Structure 1
Amino acid sequence: MTYSPGIYADLTSEEYHADPALGSTSLKTLASRTPAHWQYEKANPVHKDIYDLGTVTHSLILEGDESGVEVIDVPDKRGAKWTVPAAEAVNAGKIPLKQAEWDLVRAMRDSVMEHPVAKTAFTGHRAEESVFWEDDGLMLKCRPDAWLKDRLVDLKTTVNADPREFPKSGFKLGYYQSAAHYQDGVLAMTGERLPFWFVNVEKTAPHLVSIVEYDDYAMELGRMMNARAKDIYRRCLETGEYPGYPTVEPITLPIWAIYQAEDILGLNIEKEIVIK
């Protein structure tokens, strides 16, 4: 099923992801990798246990919902002691977790909800509403974790929530594109440009929390990258081709490698200045 432009409060995650409209992940792949990567990943979605932890953490923090979890008290996920009850849980529509994983999720929830600012992001919010809109012939979609009157919020579980590390990891993971995409989707359907927060919580004790917000220039670069992705996708639709890497691409060495090679060769030795 495909959805018309609008805001849908009751779509499941499965229904949202099944719609072919371009979401944030697609735009990031198209902009910074290749259409061939996008096409393959679209046809071959990968499931990892870490995704289950993220799903449960979101459900617990965003909605206070524990009903979708089946806790299995085993030390590891090897053998029938895990596979049999885990399969039964999945068949019942639940996510199986070890007790240790469930304890971790609850610890992260407690840390977020005890944080004086982060807890305000997940109080009185609209959780995971699906937004669909049209942009110059393309259907786009986004699903903000939390939507408040004065801001949008994305919840991230992470190894390191240090705000000094976020610029590097956020660039690598394309979070600046995600923030711009979500903000623009809500703007398209409501006329409001809302600030966008990332609430980050660490996966290891003491589960520290940070809150970060991209500046205007980072958001503009995100929009430019998203525009690049949409242009690439339009060309793919027109040609029916989803290319990978160029056949031949001229390259050079990274700056640090050039400096090292020049140093070895003695090419970057500064001449001594002699004053007469």
Structure 2
Amino acid sequence: MTAAPEVAEVVPGVYDITADDYHADPVPGGSLSSTGARKLLPPGCPALYRYEQGHQQTAPKRHLEFGTALHTLALGDGPGLVRIDADSYKTKAAQEAAEQARAQGAIPLLPAEMQQAQDMAAALIAHPQAGELLTGGEAEQTYLWRDEETGIWCRARLDYVRPGEIVDLKTTTDVSLEAVIKSIHKWGYHQQRCWYVDGHRAIWGEEPEFRFVFIAKTPPYLITVVEPDVTSCLIGEARNRRARHIYRECQRTGNWPAYDQQIWTVPLPAYAEKNDLEEYVK
């Protein structure tokens, strides 16, 4: 694994950098991530993508911190965890303790949160499929590569990589198969899958297997392991390709447009139109 880049020229490969350095973008001149690619496409747009690049969230998001804590416990890689001995963050003492932990690069957790993260990690380790998938590899690897078609730099931070296999861990509220399928569509996880596979292929010259491990955030911490089917992967690849071309054009022109600049004639949502036509227009 390559150390964090310290020179102006970056070469394709696997880099050992912190999450903060990754999100700040280690590539001089900029690179596109899977999250960025999804933001460039509807319901996002280049203008929203560009704005968010220059206005990074500074206040910590508790659900993201908890996800990072789970990764530390389940994957064996990540920031330290600090238990905040309080029932909530309502007191000044608890708030100051949390800020001190963050200042030291650690994740603050209330006792209940710490127990929850530990119980979820134990459930992952005990699960017959997830437990095997999350062993024998390396966590939190950063991939940097150049897309052959567009020439743009791409990046990805992979949760877990085993020989010939990529594993991505997702926390959610419902791991029933129907809910997982909806989550994949809603959040563009099929796109993420194809983005990571592209990076692995570009760097290692091989097509890896890919698995999502979904775990519920409430007891009994049920787990569902899935892989996107062929059709969803074709769609993910096509969406990624369009996003890369949009990114290249925006970089070339310096123009990051919003939605199409025209006056639209729009219908009601299909379900509302059907119901109201039957009810009011006869």
TM-score in terms of structure 1 length: 0.91
Report the residue type matching 2:214 in the other structure: N
Using the TM superposition, name which of 233-242 and 51-60 deviates more.
233-242
Alignment check: 8 A CA contact 1:177 1:222 kept: yes
3-state DSSP class of the match of 1:218? helix
**Map of 1:26 onto structure 2:** 36
Match of 1:250 among 261, 265, 278: 265
* Deviation at residue 9 of structure 1 after TM alignment: 4.5
Comparing 172-181 with 44-53, greater Cα deviation is found at 44-53
Opposite residue 144 of structure 1, the aligned amino acid is L
CA distance in 2, matches of 1:209, 1:3: 42
CA separation of 1:231 and 1:249: change in aligned 2, threshold 3 A: farther
Give the conservation status (yes or no) of the 8 Å contact 2:138–2:160: yes
Q: In structure 1, which of residues 6, 30, 33 is the aligned counterpart of residue 12 of structure 2?
A: 6
Post-superposition Cα deviations, 1:109-152, rounded to whole Å, max 9, x if no partner, equal: 01111101100111111212111111122000112111112321
* RMSD (Å) for aligned C-alpha atoms: 1.7
Kindly indicate whether residue 101 of structure 2 is the aligned counterpart of residue 89 of structure 1.
Answer: yes
Amino acid at match of 2:175: A
Question: In the alignment, which residue of structure 2 is the partner of 1:145?
Answer: 159
Task: Give 1:77's aligned residue.
Answer: 89
Q: Which runs of 5+ in 1 are unaligned?
A: 268-276
**Residue in 1 that maps onto 2:46:** 35
Q: 1:187 aligns with which of 201, 208, 215?
A: 201
Cα displacement (A) at 1:64: 6.1
Secondary structure in structure 2 of the residue aligned to 1:206:
coil
Among 47, 52, 62, which residue is 1:49 paired with? 62
Q: CA deviation at 1:254?
A: 2.3
Higher alpha-carbon Rg: 1
The CA deviation string for residues 172-198 of structure 1, in whole angstroms up to 9 with x for no partner, is: 111111001001110111111112110
Post-superposition offset of 1:101: 0.7
Contact 2:15 2:144 in 1 (8 A): no
**Identical pairs, percent:** 33
Instruction: Kindly provide the CA deviation profile for residues 79-112 of structure 1, in whole angstroms up to 9, marking residues without a partner as x.
Output: 2121121122122221111111111100110111
What is the aligned partner in structure 2 of residue 199 from structure 1? 213
| Whole-angstrom distance in 2 between the partners of 1:112 and 1:206 | 11
The separation in 2 between residues aligned to 1:216 and 1:5, in whole angstroms, is: 31
- Residue by residue, what CA displacement relative to the aligned partner does 1:178-230 show, whole Å, maximum 9, x if unpaired? 00100111011111111211001110000001101001110110011111111
Aligned-residue offset at 1:3: 6.3
Matched, 1:239 2:256: no
SS at match of 1:184: helix
Report how far residue 262 of structure 1 moved.
2.3
> Is it true that 1:60 corresponds to 2:73 in the alignment?
yes
Per the TM alignment, residue 266 of structure 1 is displaced from its structure 2 partner at its CA by 5.2
Secondary structure of the structure 1 residue equivalent to 2:158: coil
Mapped partners of 2:20, 2:274: distance in 1: 50
Give the AA of the match of 1:18: A
User: Retained in 2: the 8 A contact 1:5–1:131?
Assistant: no
Aligned length: 266
Contact map agreement 2:169 2:212 (CA 8 A) in 1: yes
Structure 1 CA distance, aligned partners of 2:269 and 2:87? 46
Q: Does 1:133 align with 2:145?
A: yes
Unaligned ranges ≥5, structure 2: 1-5
1:49-74 deviation line (CA, Å, top 9, x unaligned): 11110111111111166x61110111
**Is 1:222 aligned to residue 236 of structure 2?**
yes
Are residues 1:175 and 2:189 paired? yes
Q: Contact 1:4 / 1:133 at 8 angstroms: preserved in 2?
A: no
Runs of 4+ in 1 over 4 A off after TM superposition: none
CA distance in 1, matches of 2:77, 2:254: 44
| Aligned mates of 1:181, 1:8 — CA distance in 2 | 15
Distance 1:146 1:92 in 2: 25
Name the structure 2 match of 1:209.
223
Counterparts of 1:252 and 1:5, CA distance in 2: 49
Q: Is the 8 A contact 2:164 2:207 kept in 1?
A: no
Q: TM-score, normalization: structure 2?
A: 0.89
